[in-house]
Chains A and B, each alone.
Chain A
Amino acid sequence: MKKAIVIDLKDNVATLLADVYENDVVQIMMGDKTTETKVQESIQFGHKFAMETINKGQNVVKYGEVIGQATQDIGEGQHVHVHNVESLRGRGDLE
């Protein structure tokens, strides 16, 4: 089965270790535990999907730390990347 990895129990995203297609069931490895979930769209190897709903403005968490903020609502099983997440660092454009 196609696999994904969750690095820290506080994370709300999983990182794919295979290319997946819409409705594929993915085995998620979280430390010693594994669970299964269905992805909502086709996503590339190495990219992330949401483990739960992440609302616009909410923190995206990986490695147990904030890696950015959602710029729109993201549903569980959806692709999480530059189209719906923004970084909060080095934002000279915001000054």
Chain B
Amino acid sequence: MRFQGYRRKNGGVGIRNLVAVITTTGCINELPKLISQGISGAIPLGHNLSCSHLGDDLEQSTRTLTNLAGNPNIFGVVLVGMGCEQMSPEKIYQDIQKLEKPVELLMLKNVEDWSELVSRGRNAAQRMSKEADKLQREKVELGALSLAIKCGGSDTTSGVVSNPVAGLVADRIISEGGTVVFTETPEILGAEHVLAKRAINKDVAGKVLAAAKKTERRIVEMGVDLRGSEPTPANIAGGLTTIEEKSLGAIIKAGSAPLQGVLNYGERPAGKGLYFMDGPARTAELLVGIAATGCQLMVFSMGGGLPSLLPMLPAAPARFPLMPVIKMSGNPDGYEKRKDFIDIYVGSVIEAGETIDQAGKRLLQEMVNVASEQKQTIYEKGIYEEPLLIQIDGPSL
């Protein structure tokens, strides 16, 4: 089974062919917007961070931004900096060059007026867009995929249908030599020992347990009862009683392959296979972090409770053109009410005796179609744009 993708100079494969206009400080987020406007394939990637990075946060921000630029769905980068920010535009520019990706650096401190930066940026973006257009898609093996898997709107069907279907596909991608990344550290609490047993060595097992412990300690230090927020009221209405139950169902989406490593937020894996990224469950921050690990495509495994039942916007909280998201649901009730908001329905496992295996094959075909851009996902129909939210662990100064 193969898909049609763009082979990059450094060996990576993209399923989209974007020109990313990225800023090294959120103070000038308007510039990527003005630069990319109306240019085919160009996307603005502004974000929430400016100065005041504390300690490890500077490393996390720089790593995440650099690796986002390195995502194989991006053909080329227009990097826009100020000259006073804490992240170093020059360093990020050099690191992007090392990835053999077309990149240009524009600095506000080198112009008389910001409008000059906009016209220079637009020239650069237009040039890259024309270069990108010359590339043709080629037949690529499944093993070139790095698949992100997330769950949300979970209920008890998640652990019984949609997560097992995702897990089956995860196993297949890995058996073909590909990579799968999953995250959401709060949602391994109660299941971390199960994950740790699958780690390839004691070091990785220790990292899984440490990630869970760190998150739980933070909750306990706040003196709060996690039961106010995890499981969410929507999860509870859907039948999930405790975080333990939710987590045990959640980890099923990662399949059964050995766990190769634990990634820091926005960090790229050292090899292929299954990886866990220590990171938040909140969608906006999650998408950024997991796209930075190099994932070209995401499967979003859903239950059927709220928010699935709400008349949702196609993309929430905002569009994320960098990495297409396939929404999958296994809840018959939810699907009945909201079929316009689900890309692939697998509740037929409950209703019509379809096997997990058969549903898995359908998901794989959906992924191939989306990767080859023969089909647009519901998420890709989103219009609303906002700056990226990069996760930082320290306080906001």
Contacts and interface: CB of A to CB of B under 8 A. Distances in A.
Contacts of B278: none
Contacts of B190: 65, 67, 87, 89
Interface residues of B, number: 36
Contacts of B191: 65
25 contacts: A15-B160, A16-B239, A44-B239, A46-B155, A46-B238, A46-B304, A47-B156, A60-B241, A63-B245, A63-B249, A65-B248, A68-B242, A68-B244, A82-B241, A88-B242, A89-B189, A89-B190, A89-B216, A89-B242, A90-B225, A90-B226, A90-B230, A91-B225, A92-B219, A93-B225
A48 B226 contact: no
B84 to A, nearest CB: 40
Given A15-B156, A47-B156, A67-B248, A85 B241 contact: yes
Interface in B146-187: 155-157, 159-160
Contact of B227 (A15, A17, A47, A90): A90
B216 A90 contact: yes
A21 interface: no
A58 B220 CA distance: 24
Contacts of B333: 45
Interface of B: 155-157, 159-160, 189-191, 194, 216, 219-227, 230, 236, 238-239, 241-245, 248-249, 303-305, 331, 333, 350
A80 interface: yes
A47 B238 CA distance: 7
Contact of B156 (A46, A65, A90, A93): A46
Given A48-B156, A82-B236, A92 B226 contact: yes
Interface of A: 5, 7, 15-17, 44-48, 60, 62-63, 65-68, 80-82, 85-93, 95
Contacts of A46: 155-157, 238-239, 303-305, 331
A67 B245 contact: yes
A89 B226 CA distance: 8
Contacts of A17: 160, 350
A46 to B, nearest CB: 4
Nearest to B239: A46
A87 B243 contact: yes
Contact of A87 (B156, B239, B242, B249): B242
Contacts of B224: 90, 92-93
Contact of B220 (A48, A85, A90): A90
B226 A87 contact: yes
Contacts of B248: 62-63, 65, 67
Contacts of A65: 190-191, 194, 244, 248
Contacts of B216: 89-90
B223 A92 contact: yes
Contact of A95 (B220, B244, B304): B220
B239 A15 contact: yes
Contacts of A44: 239
Contacts of A63: 159, 245, 248-249
